[in-house]
C-alpha cells in the first residue's frame, strides 16, 4: 500500500463527509457536494481529472433527457452491468441527505452516454417502484445479486427520521435506525418486496456489504438503540427460482466491530477494508484483506500503510472508494491549525507497486492534450476547475484560474438561503431547519405581498401547527412586515354586493279623453 497526500488549493469545503465517487472506465466523478449546485456547476457532479500529482475538478455535463439529481450525501450506491459484452454498466443511487437535511427516497440510474477527450456526457434517470417501497434513509447499502440467470438489487440498513406521529418541535430532526428489513428490488418490473429475517435484529447503519454471485456479506455497522458496533458477520443468500425468491441469513464467525469503513476492490475476488471507527472517539487504523471464493469468505489483517502523524492524531476522518484499488481519504483542516473549514486529502493505493505504475502510465496517456478543435467543446463559465496538487506553487499560469465564490450569482431569492427580514437570525452556514414540514422549502413560507417572497417560519414566530395549517390550507399568508399577525393570518374574502334591480312599476291603462261635442254626437247616434 502507498499513501500520497494531495493538498487542496481552494474550496476543499465542498468535499465533506458523505460524498461519493463514481468510476466510469477509469474516469472518477465526484458527487454529493456540500450545499446546492451553483452556476459554475449546475449539475453538482464533477470529473476528477488525475494528471501526475494533480487532481482537477471539472464540471460534468448531463444529457437533455436527464432528470435533476440533487446533491445527496450518505446515499447507497452500487453498479449494475447492463451489457456484459460491451462492458457497459451504470450506477444505482438510492436515498441520502439533501443540503436542507431532508432525506430522499428516490432511486436514480447514472450512466455514461458519450465520452470524448474534451467532454463527457452523463445521463441520470429516476426509477419508480411499487410494492414495499423502502422509506427515505441514509447510511445504508445496496447491492446486485445474480441467481439462475436473474438479477435483483438488495437494500438493507440505514437511518431515517422519527415517524411524523412521534415527532416534537424540539426533536423534529431526530434520527432512528431503520427496521432490519431486507428489500429485494426488481428494476425490470419496478417492484420491491421486504423480508424480515430473525437473524437480523438491528437495522445497522454505516455498515459494509460485499456481493458476489447470489450472496451478500454484511460486516460491522452501528446501532443507535444500544450505541454498539456489531461484531457479527452476516451472510445473505438470495435464490431466484421461477416462483417467489428465497432469502436466508446465516451468522458467521470472524466479524469486525467497525462502522463507516471503506471497501475497495483490487481483483475479482479480493477486497481491502480501510478506515472506519471502533468507537465514537477511536479510529480504526488497521486494514484487512477480504477474499471471496465460491461461497466462502476469508478476512485477514493486511499490512497497513505508514499513516502520517496528522491522520493518527485527528479524531475524525472520511473518504470513499475511487475504484481500481484506490481510496480518497480526508481529515479536517483544524488538525493543521490553518483554515478551520478546509480539509486535507490523501490517496491510498492498495494495489502492488507494479500495478500502480501501470495504472499511472495509462492515466497519463489518457490525460494527454488532445489535438481536437477546442471549438468542439463547450467552454466553462467563470472558473470551471477546482485544483488539487502536491505542491501549491507548481501551477502553470493557465491553471491559476480557480473557483471564486464571489463570481456566483446572488442566491438571496432562490428560497434556500435568504435574509427574510431585518431581524432575520438564520445563519446560512450552520442553519438546520427549526422544524421541518412537507413544504417544498423546509421551515419556510411564501408571503403573498406583491410578487411574493419567502420568509423563515422561525423568524416569523410561526408555530409548527400554524405552519402546517398554512401549508395545507389554500389561504394567503402575509409576513410580519405586511400584516399584523394578531389580526388574523387569513386574508378576508371580499364580499361582492349584489345589485338589486328596481322593480318596474305597473303601467296604468290609458283612457281616451273625448271632447263634449264628441260625447253628445256619440249619445245622439246611440239613441237614434
- Say if 2-354 and 444-478 have the same CATH topology: no
Q: Please state which CATH class domain 444-478 belongs to.
A: alpha beta
Q: How far apart are the first and last CA of the chain?
A: 147
Does the pLDDT value for residue 392 go beyond 70? no
Q: Is 207 annotated as contributing to ligand binding?
A: no
Task: Quickly tell me which residue has 501501470 as its cell.
Answer: 358
At 151-172, the pLDDT tens digits run 999 999 999 988 877 777 777 7
Provide the pLDDT confidence category of residue 299 given band limits of 50, 70 and 90.
Answer: very high
Q: List, as one string, the DSSP characters of 148-209.
A: TTEEEEEEE--EEEPPGGG--STTTT-EEEPP-EEEEEETTTTEEEEEE-TT--S--BS-EE
Please say whether the beta carbons of 230 and 276 come within 8 A.
Answer: no
Provide the pLDDT confidence category of residue 264 given band limits of 50, 70 and 90.
Answer: very high
Provide the pLDDT confidence category of residue 138 given band limits of 50, 70 and 90.
Answer: very high
Q: What is the mean pLDDT of residues 416-441?
A: 58
- Parse the chain into domains and list their residue ranges: 2-354, 444-478
Q: What pLDDT score was predicted for residue 220?
A: 93
Q: What pLDDT score was predicted for residue 185?
A: 95
394 Cβ contact list (under 8 Å, min separation 6): 54
At 465-495, the pLDDT tens digits run 787 777 666 677 888 888 764 454 554 555 6
Q: What is the mean pLDDT of residues 179-186?
A: 94
Q: What pLDDT score was predicted for residue 167?
A: 73
Q: Is 459 annotated as contributing to ligand binding?
A: yes
Q: Is 424 annotated as contributing to ligand binding?
A: yes
Mean pLDDT of the chain: 77
Q: Is 453 annotated as contributing to ligand binding?
A: yes
Q: Is 94 annotated as contributing to ligand binding?
A: no
Does the pLDDT value for residue 211 go beyond 90? yes
Q: What pLDDT score was predicted for residue 509?
A: 57
Q: Which CATH number fits domain 2-354: 2.60.40.2480, 3.40.50.10330, 3.40.47.10, 2.120.10.80?
A: 2.120.10.80
Q: What pLDDT score was predicted for residue 238?
A: 95
At 60-110, the pLDDT tens digits run 889 988 998 889 999 999 998 866 555 678 999 999 998 888 899 999 999
Q: Is 456 annotated as contributing to ligand binding?
A: yes
Rounded (5°) CA angle 153-155-159: 160
Does the pLDDT value for residue 445 go beyond 90? no
Q: Is 420 annotated as contributing to ligand binding?
A: yes
Q: What's the CA gap between 53 and 55, in Å, rounded? A: 7
Q: Is 482 annotated as contributing to ligand binding?
A: yes
Amino acid at each position: 500500500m502507498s499513501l500520497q497526500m494531495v493538498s487542496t488549493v481552494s474550496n476543499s469545503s465542498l468535499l465533506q463527509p458523505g460524498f461519493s465517487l463514481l468510476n466510469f472506465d477509469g474516469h472518477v466523478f465526484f458527487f454529493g457536494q456540500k450545499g446546492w449546485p451553483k452556476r459554475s456547476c449546475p449539475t453538482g457532479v464533477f470529473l476528477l481529472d488525475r494528471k501526475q500529482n494533480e487532481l482537477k475538478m471539472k464540471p460534468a455535463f448531463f444529457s437533455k433527457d436527464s432528470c435533476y439529481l440533487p446533491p445527496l450525501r450518505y446515499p447507497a450506491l452500487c453498479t449494475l452491468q447492463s451489457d456484459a459484452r460491451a462492458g457497459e454498466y451504470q450506477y444505482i443511487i438510492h436515498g441520502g441527505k439533501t443540503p436542507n437535511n431532508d432525506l430522499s427516497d428516490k432511486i436514480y440510474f447514472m450512466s455514461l452516454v458519450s465520452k470524448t477527450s474534451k467532454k463527457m456526457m452523463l445521463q441520470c434517470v429516476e426509477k419508480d417502484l411499487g410494492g414495499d417501497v423502502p422509506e427515505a434513509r441514509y447510511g445504508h447499502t445496496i447491492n446486485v445479486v445474480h441467481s439462475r440467470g436473474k438479477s435483483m438489487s438488495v437494500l438493507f440498513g440505514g437511518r431515517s427520521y422519527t415517524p411524523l406521529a412521534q415527532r416534537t418541535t424540539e426533536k423534529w430532526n431526530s434520527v432512528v435506525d431503520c427496521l432490519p428489513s431486507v428489500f429485494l428490488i426488481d428494476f425490470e418490473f419496478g417492484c420491491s418486496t421486504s423480508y424480515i429475517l430473525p437473524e437480523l435484529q438491528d437495522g445497522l447503519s454505516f455498515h459494509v456489504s460485499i456481493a458476489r454471485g447470489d450472496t451478500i456479506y454484511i460486516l460491522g455497522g452501528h446501532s443507535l438503540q444500544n450505541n454498539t458496533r456489531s461484531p457479527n458477520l452476516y451472510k445473505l443468500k438470495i435464490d431466484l427460482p421461477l416462483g417467489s425468491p428465497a432469502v436466508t441469513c446465516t451468522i458467521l464467525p470472524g466479524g469486525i466491530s467497525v462502522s463507516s469503513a471503506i471497501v475497495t476492490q483490487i481483483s475479482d475476488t479480493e477486497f481491502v477494508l480501510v478506515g472506519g471507527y471502533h468507537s465514537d472517539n477511536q479510529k480504526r487504523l488497521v486494514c484487512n484483506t477480504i477474499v471471496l471464493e465460491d461461497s466462502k469468505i476469508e478476512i485477514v489483517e493486511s499490512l497497513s500503510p505508514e499513516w502520517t502523524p496528522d491522520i493518527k492524531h485527528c479524531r475524525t476522518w472520511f473518504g470513499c472508494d475511487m475504484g481500481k484499488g484506490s481510496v480518497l481519504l480526508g481529515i479536517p483542516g483544524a488538525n493543521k491549525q490553518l483554515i478551520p473549514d478546509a480539509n486535507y486529502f490523501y490517496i491510498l493505493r492498495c494495489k502492488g507497486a507494479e500495478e500502480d505504475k501501470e495504472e499511472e502510465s495509462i492515466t497519463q496517456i489518457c490525460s494527454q492534450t488532445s489535438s481536437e478543435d477546442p471549438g468542439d467543446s463547450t467552454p466553462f463559465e467563470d472558473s470551471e476547475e477546482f485544483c488539487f496538487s502536491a505542491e501549491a506553487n507548481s501551477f502553470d499560469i493557465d491553471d491559476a484560474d480557480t473557483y471564486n465564490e464571489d463570481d456566483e450569482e446572488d442566491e438571496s431569492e432562490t428560497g434556500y438561503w435568504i435574509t427574510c427580514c431585518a431581524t432575520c437570525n438564520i445563519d446560512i452556514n450552520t442553519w438546520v431547519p427549526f422544524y421541518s414540514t412537507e413544504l417544498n422549502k423546509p421551515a419556510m413560507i411564501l408571503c403573498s405581498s406583491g410578487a411574493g417572497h419567502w420568509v423563515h417560519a422561525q423568524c416569523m414566530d410561526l408555530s409548527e401547527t400554524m405552519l402546517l395549517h398554512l401549508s395545507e390550507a389554500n389561504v394567503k399568508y402575509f409576513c410580519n412586515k405586511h400584516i399584523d399577525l394578531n389580526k388574523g393570518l387569513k386574508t378576508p374574502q371580499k364580499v361582492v354586493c349584489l345589485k338589486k334591480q328596481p322593480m318596474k312599476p305597473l303601467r296604468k291603462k290609458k283612457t281616451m279623453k273625448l271632447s263634449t261635442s264628441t260625447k253628445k254626437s256619440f249619445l245622439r247616434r246611440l239613441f237614434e
